[in-house]
A and B are shown apart, each in its own frame.
Chain A
Amino acid sequence: MTTIATTPDAVESKPMGVPRINLGRVAAHLALLFFVVLWTFPTVGLLISSVRDKDQLALTGWWTSLAHSTLMAAARPDTADKAVQEGDHWVIKGNLFGRAKGQQIETFGPTNADIGKNAAGATIPMQDGGKLTVEANGDYVWNFDQQPTYSGAPRIYYVTGSPPRFTLENYARVLGSTGVAESFVNSLTVAIPSTVIPILIAAFAAYALAWMQFPFRGLIVAVVVGLLVVPLQMSLIPLLRLYNIIAGGINDMAGHQVAESKSYLGVWLAHTAFGLPLAIYLLRNYMAGLPREIMESARMDGASHFKTFTTMVLPLSFPALASFAIFQFLWIWNDLLVALVFLGAQDDRMVLTARLVNLLGQYGNNWELLTAAAFISIIVPLIVFFSLQRYFVRGLLAGSVK
């Protein structure tokens, strides 16, 4: 096994031909910058979109989010019965903007076609009678000579300009009303035990497969490696059937079935099993790479395999254990299928990925909720990844660099 502890800047200090250095360097900087921008661009788009105002988000690209935007919309003034008598005439007053303040009406009109005809502050005659004035801030006054009797209120069409708006409202909505917060907790509930449980089981097996002599060892290693490539989808139904049989057998005193086939326990065990091939494979490779002398000196001192394993191999393998844990955590957090099948999609049990898929369907392309929810779902893996990146890399290397 190659050692990986070479210093990162070892390559840095290469002497190269002087004229070539600068050109090559500049090209290298540019090329790398190009790749980095290409790779981060989509995620940045998601992040920026998630804090944009929903009306702007649906109409313009996120890269224009700093520009002033105009919007065409329509709203209805109050109905005729809201008219108030003032002296000898009748008035309806109000504001055309319901929720979204902070816009400025530029022009308005009584039809789609006339939307650009009247500047804010102008007064226009209406088809339903009377005269309407609309101010830039959305306030309107509709004056009638007699009590108005129109049925339904006509639409007023207007063009607004709005400065770039950034808001956390999307997040508030997603967390508040769509069950995303609940799912976040569910995802944690699924992920934590499923990450920890396989570690010990795999570590013992890996040690045996790396350092102990016994028949069929080669075959077992072969099977483990082979199982790495089994498509998970096909194992779901046979397993769920098995769960039903087991759960059906657990009864209380009165003979009622007390266990459910879909439970957190079921998901934990399933994830444990599905994670084992990789865990054993990674850990075995790592442990096999530990210096033979350590093992031998320990054995010389009369330590049993059990003791050698717990006192020497396990602590030495910490980087590999940690990296597997990260791998497994990311995998489980990002998993959709196993959770759906073994936990179900009942509202109170839905994990974050399942919730995201539902949002995709429910809101069509309501990007503002989707982007916020998506970002919430990737925030935990990103934290885990950036804080534990070192181990992650070392674990991967243990399994692959030979």
Chain B
Amino acid sequence: MHKLLLAGVSAIALSLGVAGSAHAVDLMFPKGQGDFNWDSLQKFADAHKDLSGQKLTIWDAWNEQGDKTQWEAVLAYFTDATGVEVQDGSSKNYEEQARIDIQAGSPANITILPQPGLLADFAKQGKLVDLGDATTKFVTDNFGAGKSWAELGQFVGPDGAKHQYAFPYKQEVKSLVWYSPDNFKEKGYEVPKTWEDLMALQDKIKADGGTPWCIGIESGGATGWPATDWVENLLLLTQPPEVYDDWVAGKIKFSDKRITDAIDLFGSIVKDDKNVAGGTKSVATTAFGDSPKGLFTVPPQCYLHKQASFITSFFPEGSKAGVDYDFFYFPPMKSHPELGNPVEGSGNLVTITKDSPAAQAFIQFLETPIAHEIWMAQPNGSFLTALKTVNPKVYSSDTLRKFGDILLNATTFRFDGSDLMPGPIGAGAFWTGMVDYVNGKSSADVAAAIDAAWAKL
């Protein structure tokens, strides 16, 4: 009896599932027009003709509405080329959902996450599919700073050896400071070229009666991460990249003076009520996506905002790059000329979590320039790529093109450290520590707490 019930109802449930997912394919840019590498799409389509009617599920981090529609515009070309029906999903707590699904054995075909630390964990448990040496070679040869991008996607598998488990897609530059050119012009402020200039500007803004920074680190379950970016960036400005690497790997402790100095350098900015719009107290309760809005208010609540390239999707509707807002490098220190122009970045990694011919084809698709160009060309996007075969002309704005150049020409490029650390630290103790620090604890106390958590892993 029960079986009958099960069968009957599952038939209904299945038909429901199918009914909900049929989408018409709508292409955003007509094929064959503009500066796109259309032939790469054609070549890809010719090579994958036999996939029609298959299904592909994707789980990713792009739950913000702008990102989501832009990403789905890219997917439409994959569907157009192969006939594969794609189901894309994301949610605010995408990491948790990805973990639950993978652990329970019901992952999407493709899982795309910006946290290498999390993926390393999955790889160790044998939940990721090896993409093979050909992928390693492709990334090494075709990406700016290719070797480091390839290595970012290599993890230790269940057999104890390193494999290429992930393909990098959609990169972000984190070391950026945003400002309003109008407000700078009105006050006669200049874009600083060095850290020392930046500090001088900060003091000048205060002297003029303004507030220099907008800082918000609230982010729901991930509250604290924007502060970790500050610390990582300041560490790169003050210490050689090797120190950064050792710190990320756990060989240098948080309580090391080099690290606490970086934390306190951040503190010298954030712990002064006059430096931050709303005062230090508001930092931990202001949503990171809300904080840049102070740049755009009349009169401005602040003049500077440090955040990664994706923050543009949180700017007020209709804001134009280069007109309503602009950015400059988080500037290097005059006192450390030997460190050059260090750049901190982050990016998403594409993995196969449930193998199928369509999933394999999808990785191939991402190797085509067109898979990058479609997103690059969308207005109000924040898509950057280190892939060298794309045509930079299709970037929708000069601002994005400038970022793209940074990525292609970076000398010292380091990935977001908290994303590389083990989950309970990089997505736990470090966040909590920075929240506590901003709310008044000393760097020594905070560092000791993080070290203690790390020791217990």
Contact = CB atoms under 8 A, between A and B. Distances in A.
User: A–B direct touch, CB within 8 Å, in complex?
Assistant: yes
B438 to A, nearest CB: 18
A235 B90 CA distance: 23
Contacts of A294: none
The CB with the most chain A CB atoms within 10 A, among B100, B105, B314, is that of: B105
B287 A364 contact: yes
Contacts, number: 113
A186 B146 CA distance: 45
B220 A360 contact: yes
B65 A152 contact: no
B89 interface: yes
B287 to A, nearest CB: 4
B13 interface: yes
Interface stretch (B42-50, B91-99, B379-387, B402-410): B91-99
Given A237-B104, A240-B100, A361-B220, A263 B10 contact: yes
Interface stretch (B15-23, B197-205, B239-247, B255-263): B15-23
Nearest to A186: B20
Given A157-B298, A260-B17, A263-B17, A347 B88 contact: yes
A399 interface: no
Contacts of B13: 263-266
A167 B318 CA distance: 22
A112 B300 contact: yes
Given A73-B298, A261-B106, A345 B91 contact: yes
A362 B92 contact: yes
Contacts of B90: 345
Given A111-B186, A259-B14, A345-B90, A364 B290 contact: yes
B182 A260 contact: no
B64 interface: yes
Contacts of B94: 345
A363 B65 CA distance: 9
Contacts of A268: 9
B17 A112 contact: no
A344 interface: yes
Given A112-B183, A155-B182, A260-B17, A357 B10 contact: no
A365 B92 CA distance: 14
A268 B6 CA distance: 11
A115 B300 CA distance: 12
Contact of A244 (B63, B97, B104, B300): B104
Interface string A356-381: 01101111110000000000000000
B160 interface: no
Contacts of A112: 183, 186, 298-300
A115 B298 contact: yes
A119 interface: no
A280 interface: no
B186 A361 contact: no
Contacts of B9: 265, 268
Given A358-B63, A364-B314, A263 B14 contact: yes
Interface in A23-66: none
A262 B92 contact: no
B186 A250 contact: no
Nearest to B23: A348
B299 A361 contact: no
A354 B104 contact: no
B89 A346 contact: yes
A243 B219 CA distance: 33
A307 interface: no
A104 interface: no
A396 interface: no
Contacts of A157: 298
B207 interface: no
Contacts of A345: 89-91, 94, 97
Q: How large is the interface on A (under 10, 10 to 19, 20 to 34, 35 or more residues)?
A: 35 or more
Contact of A243 (B97, B106, B288, B314): B106
A21 B97 CA distance: 60
Interface in A239-256: 240-241, 243-244, 250
A357 B92 contact: yes
A147 B384 CA distance: 39
B41 to A, nearest CB: 25
A340 B16 CA distance: 17
Interface string B1-30: 000001001101110110011000000000
A340 B91 contact: yes
The CB with the most chain B CB atoms within 10 A, among A241, A243, A344, is that of: A344
A183 B350 CA distance: 28
Contact of B87 (A263, A265, A346, A350): A346
B323 interface: yes
A241 B92 CA distance: 23
B289 interface: yes
A362 B300 contact: no
A72 B299 contact: yes
A115 B299 contact: yes
Nearest to A193: B9
B133 interface: no
Nearest to A355: B91
B97 A340 contact: yes
A244 B20 contact: no
A121 interface: no
A396 to B, nearest CB: 31
A195 to B, nearest CB: 15
A258 interface: yes
B92 to A, nearest CB: 4
Contacts of A284: none
A341 interface: yes
B92 A360 contact: yes
A361 B63 contact: yes
Contacts of A172: none
Contacts of A350: 91
Contacts of A264: 12-13, 16-17
Interface string B54-72: 0001000001110000000
Nearest to A262: B106
A205 interface: no
A73 B300 CA distance: 10
B104 A362 contact: no
Contacts of B65: 178, 362
A244 B91 contact: no
A271 interface: no
A113 interface: yes
Given A236-B104, A358-B92, A364-B287, 13 more contacts: A74-B182, A98-B318, A113-B186, A115-B298, A152-B323, A240-B105, A261-B105, A264-B13, A346-B57, A357-B92, A361-B63, A362-B92, A364-B288
Q: Which 6 A-B pairs have the closest CB atoms?
A: A240-B104, A361-B92, A345-B91, A364-B289, A364-B287, A346-B89
7 contacts: A240-B100, A240-B106, A241-B104, A259-B10, A345-B94, A348-B21, A357-B92
Interface of B: 6, 9-10, 12-14, 16-17, 20-21, 57, 63-65, 87-94, 97, 100-101, 103-106, 182-183, 186, 219-220, 287-290, 297-300, 314, 318, 323
